[in-house]
Amino acid sequence: MTYQNQYTVESASAALEEIKTEVARAFIGQTELVAHALITLLAGGHLLVEGVPGLGKTLLVRALAQAIGGESKRVQFTPDLMPSDITGNIMLDTRSGKFITRKGPVFTNLFIADEINRAPAKVQAALFEAMQEFQVSLDGIGCPLPAPFMVLATQNPFEHEGTYPLPDAQKDRFLMKIIAAYPSLEEEKVMVGRVLAGGTGAELSVAGVKTVLEPGGFTGLRDFTSSLRIDPSVIDYAVRLTAATRQSPAVQTGAGPRGSLALIRCARARALMNGRDFVLPDDVKALAVPVLAHRLTLSAESELEGIGEAEIIRGLTANTEAPRGLAGETPQGTGFDGEAGA
């Protein structure tokens, strides 16, 4: 069944708003994190979240999976983790004498790779194939992953002992990287009160989250997003902004063409979430930090001076001229225009 043609901009935007509403029933506050997670899933990419433990990232993914009628699975990455613990393997059934396929936890819609930088290179490489090819090779046979599929990987910014830093090639495969902040005091009070109501607080309940779409319906929504029109001047703006990272003296290695593609993919999703069938320069500008910052390698001088990737991207955005006078352009600041990044 084809779902893409069932959507209009109005119905698609309404469905996305309903998904956010349902997620908010379980996941309190942090609207930017929710919006970025939904943008990433809608754009068909993967999300890297940096933050201390206990901020509810697992609850967010479970709630999002429930809202789209999908499944979620979580794996705690450790130094002794094996690739087969993620992907599964081919094993001999002693009863039948035949080889059977045991699929690993990566065969799900939303996969949480908790503390991804604690796993060795072989495990990261196995996950790399799933992220890039949307399939897993078991005994030389490619097994496709369910659709939609997204990896939400987390890493702790303060713990470095026993970690394996992600290689640049794998970081580049993440559509966005964001920083998960602490909730506000009011949000935390609401969260604590709701979690403890009728329970011990140890469980992560998504019982109140209703299913808005089935996975096939969300896949159609994602395909509809990719059909949104983009003015050539906006594409030119995204490419110029990405290219500016390669020319900055503060950067040793800038973002590659995948950065330009990621900006456009995310900008389309943001436009649809704001009820538009066209992309504005503001969409690109608002997402520049989470899309581009983690793709940079800073120069030694920048590191010594304590200049961060996000600060560099903000400076480049301010100095890169954006196109003006596009049809349907709205004042900057409407809709979701928060930014979060490395």
| CA-closest candidate to residue 132, choices 258, 2, 243 | 258
Q: Is there a domain that residue 201 lies in?
A: no
The predicted structure's pLDDT at residue 122 = 86
Q: Is there a domain that residue 309 lies in?
A: yes
The predicted structure's pLDDT at residue 1 = 43
Beta bridge partners of 103: 88
Beta-strand pair 110-114/72-76:
parallel
| Domain stops at, among 193, 219, 239 | 193
| CA-closest candidate to residue 253, choices 314, 171, 160 | 171
How open is the CA angle 71-77-83, to the nearest 5 degrees? 85
Residues 66-77 pLDDT 10s: 999 999 999 999
Does 170 lie in the same domain as 60? yes
For the chain, residues with pLDDT lower than 70 are 1-5, 158-162, 195, 198-204, 325-342
User: Using CA atoms in the order 104, 169, 132, 234, what is the torsion angle rounded to 10 degrees?
Assistant: 140
Does 237 lie in the same domain as 110? no
The predicted structure's pLDDT at residue 169 = 80
The predicted structure's pLDDT at residue 126 = 86
Q: Is there a domain that residue 89 lies in?
A: yes
Q: Is there a domain that residue 19 lies in?
A: no
Q: How many domains, in total, are found in the chain?
A: 2
Does 128 lie in the same domain as 73? yes
Judge contact between 86 and 75, C-beta under 8 A.
yes
Q: Is there a domain that residue 332 lies in?
A: no
The predicted structure's pLDDT at residue 331 = 41
Give the domain CATH number at 309.
1.10.8.80
Judge contact between 306 and 269, C-beta under 8 A.
no
Q: Is there a domain that residue 291 lies in?
A: yes
Judge contact between 170 and 153, C-beta under 8 A.
no
Q: What is the 3-state secondary structure (H, E, C) of the chain?
A: CCCHHHCCHHHHHHHHHHHHHHHHCCCCCCHHHHHHHHHHHHCCCCEEEECCCCCCHHHHHHHHHHHCCCCEEEEECCCCCCHHHHHEEEEEECCCCEEEEEECCCCCCEEEEECHHHCCHHHHHHHHHHHHHCEEEECCEEEECCCCCEEEEEECCCCCCCCCCCCHHHHCCCCEEEECCCCCHHHHHHHHHHHHCCCCCCCCCCCCCCCCCCHHHHHHHHHHHCCCECCHHHHHHHHHHHHHHHHCCCEEECCCHHHHHHHHHHHHHHHHHCCCCECCHHHHHHHHHHHHHHHCEECHHHHHHCCCHHHHHHHHHHHCCCCCCCCCCCCCCCCCCCCCCC
The predicted structure's pLDDT at residue 117 = 85
Does 242 lie in the same domain as 140? no
The pair of three-digit structure tokens given for residue 338, joined into one six-digit string: 């928060």
Domain that holds residue 296: 228-319
Does 113 lie in the same domain as 260? no
The predicted structure's pLDDT at residue 151 = 95
Does 167 lie in the same domain as 51? yes
Q: Is there a domain that residue 337 lies in?
A: no
Does 153 lie in the same domain as 76? yes
Does 311 lie in the same domain as 263? yes
The predicted structure's pLDDT at residue 334 = 36
Q: Is there a domain that residue 58 lies in?
A: yes
Does 313 lie in the same domain as 186? no
| Domain stops at, among 168, 193, 218 | 193
Judge contact between 142 and 136, C-beta under 8 A.
yes
Does 313 lie in the same domain as 170? no
The predicted structure's pLDDT at residue 336 = 42
Does 160 lie in the same domain as 283? no
Judge contact between 227 and 4, C-beta under 8 A.
yes
| Domain stops at, among 193, 219, 252 | 193
